[in-house]
Amino acid sequence: MVLRPGDGNETSAAWRVILEDLEGPACLVLSRQDLPPIGSLGEAMEGVARGAYAVRDVEDPAAVIVGTGSEVGVAIAAAEQLDVSVRVVSMPSWELFAQQDDAYRESILPAGLPKVSVEAGVSMGWATWVDASVAIDRFGASAPGAEVLQKLGITPEAVAAKVRELLG
């Protein structure tokens, strides 16, 4: 079971899930970057246990941006650049999300809405959940985090552009 939390609250929640809920091996993938809080501890506790949850919800979303780990902040910044209502989802665990019932998964990632993921990793696997990905499908680079993300295109601007492309 892989968990990739997006802030300190999600890290606490991931530890709780690993210690109390899981049987078998687990991998907790953490960032070296300073990450601002993306939500409350209570929201993180419930959301991480379910694998994914809305960290920025809107009344009638036109699209969904899904981030994992440190890229949840990129997803939020991208949503703020768009002229349409966008839900932002943190997905710290594909495996936990896949275990949820259809109704929950649909409530988080509604069918018919364009969905874009952002992760500073490969796009492989994301097609299960989203229509398009902003990712790195090659070996990365070594430099300060913000510099690497900019160089490799893991930016709010790139994510917003991908959403605009899907919206047509």
Residue 37 domain-assigned (yes or no): no
Q: Which two tokens stand for residue 104?
A: 């929950």
> Can you give the residue range of the structural domain that contains 99?
48-167
pLDDT of 162 higher than 80: yes
Residue 34 domain-assigned (yes or no): no
Query: Taking the CA of residue 41 as centre, how many other CA atoms within 13 Å lie in the half-sphere pointing to its CB?
Result: 4
Residue 19 domain-assigned (yes or no): no
Query: Between 138 and 167, where is the model more confident?
Result: 167
Residue 39 domain-assigned (yes or no): no
Helix (H) or strand (E) holding 72: helix 71-81
CB 85 within 8 A of CB 58: yes
Sheet holding 63-67, edge to edge: 53-56, 86-90, 63-67, 115-118, 132-134
Domain CATH number, residue 116 = 3.40.50.920
Percent of the chain with pLDDT over 90: 85
Residue 152 confidence class, pLDDT cut points 50, 70, 90:
confident
- Rounded to an integer, the average pLDDT of 109-116 is 97
Residue 152 domain-assigned (yes or no): yes
Give residue-wise pLDDT tens across range 36-49: 999 999 999 999 99
pTM given for the model: 0.95
> Residue 68: its pLDDT value, please?
96
- Rounded to an integer, the average pLDDT of 61-81 is 97
- Rounded to an integer, the average pLDDT of 39-61 is 96
Residue 66 domain-assigned (yes or no): yes
Residue 14 domain-assigned (yes or no): no
CB 29 within 8 A of CB 4: yes
For the chain, what is the domain count?
1
Residue 114 domain-assigned (yes or no): yes
Residue 34 confidence class, pLDDT cut points 50, 70, 90:
confident
Residue 139 confidence class, pLDDT cut points 50, 70, 90:
confident
